[in-house]
Amino acid sequence: MTTPAEQLEGASGTATGTSALDQLKQYTKVVADTGDFETMRAYKPQDATTNPSLIYAATQKEDYRSILDKAVADQKNSSLSGDKQIESIIDHVLVAFGMEILQIVPGRVSTETDARLSFDTEGSIAKAHELIALYEKNGISRDRVLIKIASTWEGIKAAEQLQKEGIHCNLTLLFSLPQAVACAEAKVQLISPFVGRIYDWYKAHTGKEYQGAEDPGVESVTEIYAYYKKFGYPTEVMGASFRNTSQIVELAGCDLLTISPSLLGELADSTSSVTKKLDKADAAGKEIERLEIDEKSFRYLLNDDAMATEKTAEGIRKFAADIVKLEKMIAGML
């Protein structure tokens, strides 16, 4: 079994004097996948992404508990009560984290809607409006915020409407080309294909250990990237959910890659050579069949892909569970 450092060396070639992270930044916008402010300061990413699981984990740490405490104190005597009050507090916590992050990164922060709205188009739109209103109330331009929504049909339709209003969206929990094509047709700003979770599914079902370009998660993002560039879609591709540095360096050249603190650390500590693997110019000459997507074909093709169906559903359940944990914690504080 190779170590992460050996995977990085094997995937990227000979050693250089520059860190692998700095080399990666020459080809790809690096995004921090964390709610930890100190990580962002250390690795200087362009953007940052959060999700309910990361925010819940951050509120368990003393360093960040004050953000939750302040949101509870500020909203405790509001006119709201019960579930509505708790919902409002969570919105304020999410935006407070986002505002802190935007003081560190020069680009954008992704803030996620409630995963329980994943099959509710109007509910997702309403929640996005609430989050953007809070950001704008605090002087943050909507151009610096990406609203994260699950890549269900209903989520994509919500994002399509939000984009028309100038609210930029990050379509998350994305595991297949049909989901990616539907997002591009909806003119969403950015998608987050989940490399590591695709890898997890195939490893569990085949018992095989995948490396380099043969990794199914890497193959999925490579396919989506080529499709977008071939047909001229402006939607950004941001690989996400990595399990090792090999997956990351195999996607050097992707528009963006969102990376956890531990893997950012491994890349920063390595001086292995990183070369550009994905190139917009290469996609032009590829033979790629155009996929026509409407609601019926989307639902059928997604259903026909066991991995994508299972991982999308699982991801929604896990994010929803962490929102419930946060709600229970806040209810206890109230």
Span 86-118, pLDDT tens digits: 999 999 999 999 999 999 999 999 999 999 999
Q: What is the pLDDT of residue 2?
A: 46
Residue 60 sits in a domain whose CATH number is 3.20.20.70
Q: Which long-range contacts (CB under 8 A, 24 or more apart) does 324-332 make?
A: 325/56, 326/52, 326/55, 326/56, 326/59, 326/90, 326/93, 327/86, 327/90, 329/59, 329/68, 330/68, 330/72, 330/86, 330/89, 330/90, 331/86
Of 237, 195, 197, 236, residue with least CA distance to 218: 195
Q: What is the pLDDT of residue 6?
A: 45
Q: Is residue 7 assigned to a domain?
A: no
- pLDDT tens across 154-167, in order? 999 999 999 999 99
Q: Is residue 180 assigned to a domain?
A: yes
Q: Is residue 242 assigned to a domain?
A: yes
Q: Is residue 287 assigned to a domain?
A: yes
Q: Is residue 194 assigned to a domain?
A: yes
- Are 334 and 76 in contact, with CB atoms under 8 Å apart? yes
- pLDDT tens across 116-153, in order? 999 999 999 999 999 999 999 999 999 999 999 999 99
Identified catalytic residue from 25, 148, 157, 277: 148
Q: Is residue 6 assigned to a domain?
A: no
- pLDDT tens across 232-250, in order? 999 999 999 999 999 999 9
Q: Is residue 5 assigned to a domain?
A: no
Q: What is the pLDDT of residue 15?
A: 52
- Are 159 and 190 in contact, with CB atoms under 8 Å apart? no
Q: Is residue 26 assigned to a domain?
A: yes
Given a cut of 80, is residue 9 above it in pLDDT? no
Domain hosting 137: range is 15-333
Token pair recorded at residue 43:
């690795």
Token pair recorded at residue 164:
């028309």
Tally of domains within the chain: 1
pLDDT bin (cut points 50, 70, 90) of residue 39 is: confident
The verdict on whether 148 is a catalytic residue reads yes
